[in-house]
Amino acid sequence: MNGGSVKSAIVIILLALGVRAQNSVCLDIEANPRPGDPGLGLFTKYVNVLGYIHVYAVSGISDEKVLHAAAVAAELLDNDEDGIVDDPLIENALSENYTVMPIFNSENSTAIDEFFDNYEGCTGAVLFRNEIDQSAPGYWGSDASVEEILHTINSCGHVEVYPSTFALEPNSSLLTDAMDVARGGQFIEHPSTYPEEAWYHYDDVTCEYECMAMEYLYWCIVTNMGILADEQTCRGIADEWEPCTPELFESTDTLMYNIVTDLVYRLPQLAPDGNYCPAAVAISKEISPRQFSLFPADPNPFNSMTRIQFSLTKRAKVSLVVYDINGRKIRVLAEGTYSPGLNVTTWDGANSAGSEVSAGIYVVTLRAGESLQSSKIVHLK
């Protein structure tokens, strides 16, 4: 495989990894598994997301919209897309509570009251048909899937698992302490005007303090992902939320930036794109998964060091290379002839010149003979 072929393969890998939306969802719509449940029997469509979030939709919701919501949920839970929920503690909490993401036709649907009157598990939000736009995942004003599913994961997971960090009541957590700073003071009731130094000034009077804390957590997570960073969105949300880019968020809201990027909580760092097929991408004339395997980097995302493992079943000439999302070679991590077995290397986030790379998405590519396997890796500053 020559240099041009390698670069072409990397472009194909990037497309398959979802750098450009392909609407590829490796999840299935099934019939309602609980038709006799008083709260869930009204739904006709169902997707089991990794065993921990259960997407239920009424009959009027298209399959495409249902699968989009399921893919977003999977990407938020399994942000490195290795098929495993990133945080086993969150996994356990969601499982114990039988966490549901319900989708209704509209906010006027009578099915909403029927659901909430009878459902006894956990749900943090609902989605409506006109709030789902699979062509613009998470885009403010178009697709509310990321917001509502994050609310569900946060309320049924993080608030329960990490209460000292994410509890919603006044004076209860690092989250509410940070929100009081962001609002320019602790306001249990909505102030008539927010202080000039405030950068979070939510003005929906129906949203009480705990609700405002949940909205605040959402703004922080998606700002760090970069979802809000375009000029039109920044203007559109400025009345409520000012630091709309990752750079502004890091410099303005340092308390929450440190929480959102703390690997202890394993919050999602990558923006969902609506594609979810959790498998290493392999491109080759003769791919044999039994002959070599590239394992997910650990930790991922990382900021100082991550470990990368690959295995061989026979002696082979191997190269392990990091590329940026444009297909430019960043660093050769391993190169030479390797014996059968498990091989381990590390990457410290530096390029071939020894300089730290910028934060973002990178692709680690294992080449063995004419075969390639690749996976995404996220570097944090």
Residue 297 sits in the same domain as residue 235: no
* Cα–Cα distance measured from residue 73 to residue 1, given in angstroms and rounded to the nearest whole number: 38
Averaged over 353-368, what is the pLDDT?
89
Q: Are residues 186 and 288 in the same domain?
A: no
Q: Are residues 310 and 195 in the same domain?
A: no
Lowest mean pLDDT among 130-144, 163-177, 211-225, 287-301: 287-301
Instruction: Give me the number of domains the chain comprises.
Output: 2
Residue 16: inside a domain: no
Spatial distance between the Cα atoms of 283 and 150, rounded to a whole number of angstroms: 33
The answer to whether position 329 is within a domain reads yes
- Residue 303, pLDDT score: 87
Classify residue 14: in a domain, yes or no.
Answer: no
Q: Label each residue of 29-77 as H, E or C.
A: CEECCCCCCCCCCCCCEEEEECCCEEEEECCCCCHHHHHHHHHHHHHHH
Q: What is the pLDDT of residue 286?
A: 37
| Domain presence at residue 268 | no
Partners of 122 in the β-ladder: 99
What single-letter amino acid sits at 154? N
Q: Are 89 and 66 in contact (CB under 8 A)?
A: no
pLDDT at 374: 81
Query: Per DSSP, what are the bridge partners of residue 374?
Result: 281, 365
pLDDT category at 82 given cuts 50, 70, 90 is confident
pLDDT of residue 141: 83
Asked whether residue 85 falls in the same domain as residue 184, the answer is yes
- 14 pLDDT above the threshold of 50: no
Within a domain: 38: yes
> Does residue 197 sit in helix, strand or coil?
coil
327 and 290 belong to one structural domain: yes
pLDDT in the model for residue 21: 40
Same domain, 326 and 230: no
Give the 3-state secondary structure of 94-155: HHHCCEEEEEECCCCCCHHHHHHHHCCCECCCCEEHHHCCCCCCCCCCCCCHHHHHHHHHHH
| pLDDT-derived band at 370, boundaries 50, 70, 90 | low
Helices 88-96 and 63-77: crossing angle in degrees, nearest 10, is 130
Residue 18: inside a domain: no
Using CA of residue 33, residue 36, residue 37, residue 39, what is the dihedral sign? positive
Answer yes or no: do 245 and 338 share one domain. Answer: no
pTM listed for this prediction: 0.70
CA–CA dist 333, 336 (Å, integer): 11
pLDDT at 330: 94
CA distance 130 to 154: 23
Count CA atoms within 13 Å of residue 12 on its CB side. 13
Whether residues 65 and 199 fall in one domain = yes
Q: Is residue 118 part of a domain?
A: yes
Given CA atoms 98, 102, 107, 112 in this order, what sign does their dihedral have?
Answer: negative
Percent of the chain clearing pLDDT 70 (strictly above):
90
Per-residue pLDDT, averaged over 105-129, amounts to: 95
Same domain for 229 and 286:
no
pLDDT at 369 over 80: no
Query: 232-237 long-range CB contacts below 8 Å, 24 or more apart?
Result: 233/139, 233/140, 233/141, 236/140, 236/141, 237/140
pLDDT bucket at 10, cuts 50 / 70 / 90? very low
- Average pLDDT estimate for 175-197: 96
Q: What is the pLDDT of residue 19?
A: 42
Give CA separation, 74 vs 27, 56, 70, in Å: 9, 14, 6
* C-beta neighbour count of 317 within 10 angstroms: 11
Q: Which has the minimum average pLDDT: 1-5, 217-221, 300-304, 306-310?
A: 1-5
Provide the CATH number for the domain around residue 345: 2.60.40.2550
**pLDDT for residue 311:** 84
Confidence of residue 372 (pLDDT cuts 50, 70, 90): confident
Q: Which position has the higher pLDDT, 272 or 22? A: 272
Greatest mean pLDDT among 56-65, 137-146, 261-270 lies in 56-65
pLDDT tens profile 187-243: 998 999 999 999 999 888 899 999 999 999 999 999 999 999 999 999 999 999 999
Q: Which domain holds residue 176?
A: 25-260
Averaged pLDDT of the chain: 88
Residue where one domain finishes, among candidates 206, 228, 260:
260
The DSSP secondary structure of 223-290, one letter per residue, reads HHHTTT-SHHHHHHHTTTB---SHHHHHHH-HHHHHHHT-TTT----SPP-S-B--S-EEEESS--TT
Query: Does residue 60 come out as left (phi exceeding 0), alpha (psi in the -120 to 50 range) or beta?
Result: alpha
* Residue 214 and residue 330 in one domain: no
How much of the chain, in percent, has pLDDT values that exceed 90? 65
Mean pLDDT within 107-123: 95
For 267, half-sphere exposure in the C-beta direction (CA atoms, 13 angstrom radius) is: 26
Residues 250 and 327 in one domain: no
Asked if 299 and 263 touch (Cβ cutoff 8 Å), the reply is yes
Q: What pLDDT was estimated at residue 194?
A: 96
Same domain, 105 and 185: yes
Is residue 15 one of the residues assigned to a domain?
A: no
